[in-house]
């Protein structure tokens, strides 16, 4: 079956649960799923109830789709995301983004936990993604590889302004009003994982221009841009990953730092949604 038809089937399945037309699609990264608990008038759909939808297999990722309202914004949220290292292809990992776009979302807000390549970043800080380096994609492991379906987007999409400038300014404004919030802006490098990087790999990733490293986000962003959505990407820095201090990372540490930062993350996201509600008011399709 063609990807397009799979997406349409999944959209139909969601529509059996909810008629809500979301303005925003939200993907919640490792340990950041708490925000989804606060969605109002929400309908919750386990991924297993949706055709063609891969299931989330990692600790810290619940695996359900939530539709509802938050801060006056109609949204669809993925509580639990999918990764390449789980064995899914980039096309499978990004099917949910296509479905959320077809449901009506005009903006993708995507979050993740990431290691700091930039020595100035501390665990618990946030990084607004200004740009990315798609390491798996540059090497051929790319969500748009294969025949292009023009119903989704063009063959050769530009990614020069992938991370929307107006939305970044909005996040900076909201962050400035939250006490003890450290928000950086930088370049996210995607690796496929699941092993954490060697010190030599981390030095390499820093040298090629990365500020933070993680195992997600980039495929979803590319597919969102392919379909004309505006994108806002936010990393929570969970650990140092400079390759210089001899530190070892583990998933427990990543989840613990995410849990400790959760209340600030929720404040930031709710503030951003409140501003977005104003921005999107009266606007139909942005692009």
Residues marked active site are found at 30, 61, 83, 85-86, 113, 215-216, 239, 251
Contacts to ligand HPA by CB under 6 A: 113-115, 196-197, 213-215, 238-239, 241, 249, 254
Least Å distance, CB 213 to ligand HPA, is 5
Instruction: Considering the complex, state which of residue 114 and residue 273 has its C-beta at the smaller distance from ligand HPA.
Output: 114
Q: 268 near 177, Cβ under 8 Å?
A: no
Q: 275 near 171, Cβ under 8 Å?
A: no
Instruction: Considering the complex, state which of residue 28 and residue 114 has its C-beta at the smaller distance from ligand HPA.
Output: 114
Task: Quote the tokens at residue 58.
Answer: 């990692």
Question: Residue 111's Cα: distance from chain center in Å?
Answer: 4
Question: β-strand 126-134 against 183-190: which pairing, if any?
Answer: parallel
| Cα separation values, 26 from 107, 108, 120, 219, Å | 8, 6, 28, 14
Least Å distance, CB 129 to ligand HPA, is 14
Instruction: Considering the complex, state which of residue 77 and residue 215 has its C-beta at the smaller distance from ligand HPA.
Output: 215
Beta-carbon contacts of residue 122 (< 8 Å; ≥ 6 apart): 116, 182, 237, 240
Instruction: Considering the complex, state which of residue 142 and residue 251 has its C-beta at the smaller distance from ligand HPA.
Output: 251
Question: β-strand 73-79 against 64-70: which pairing, if any?
Answer: antiparallel
Least Å distance, CB 252 to ligand HPA, is 12
Which residue is nearest to ligand HPA, using beta carbons? 115
Least Å distance, CB 17 to ligand HPA, is 31
SS3 assignment for 61-77: CCCEEEEEEECCEEEEE
């Amino acid at each position: 079956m063609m990807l397009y038809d799979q997406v349409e089937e999944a959209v139909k399945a969601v529509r059996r649960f909810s008629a809500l037309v979301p303005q925003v699609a939200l993907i919640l990264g490792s340990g950041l799923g708490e925000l989804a608990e606060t969605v109002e008038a929400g309908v919750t759909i386990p991924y297993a109830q949706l055709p063609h939808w891969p299931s989330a297999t990692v600790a810290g990722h619940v695996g359900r789709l939530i539709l509802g309202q938050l801060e006056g914004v109609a949204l669809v949220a993925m509580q639990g995301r999918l990764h390449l290292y789980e064995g899914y292809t980039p096309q499978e990992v990004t099917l949910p983004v296509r479905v959320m776009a077809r449901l009506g979302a005009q903006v993708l807000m995507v979050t993740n936990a990431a290691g700091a390549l930039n020595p100035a970043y501390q665990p618990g800080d946030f990084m607004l993604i200004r740009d990315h380096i798609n390491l798996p994609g540059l090497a051929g492991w790319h969500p748009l590889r294969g025949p292009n379906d023009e119903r989704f987007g063009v063959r050769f999409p530009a990614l020069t302004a992938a991370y929307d400038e107006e939305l970044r300014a909005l996040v900076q404004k909201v962050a400035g009003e939250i006490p003890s919030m450290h928000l950086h802006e930088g370049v996210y490098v995607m690796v496929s994982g699941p092993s954490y990087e060697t010190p030599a790999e981390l030095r390499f990733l820093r040298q090629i221009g990365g500020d933070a490293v993680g195992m997600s986000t980039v495929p979803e962003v590319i597919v969102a841009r392919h379909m004309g959505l505006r994108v806002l990407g936010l990393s929570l820095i969970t650990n140092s990953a400079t390759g210089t201090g001899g530190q070892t990372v583990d998933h427990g540490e990543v989840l613990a730092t995410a849990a400790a930062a959760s209340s600030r993350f929720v404040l930031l996201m709710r503030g951003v949604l409140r501003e977005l509600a104003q921005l999107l008011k009266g606007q139909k399709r942005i692009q």
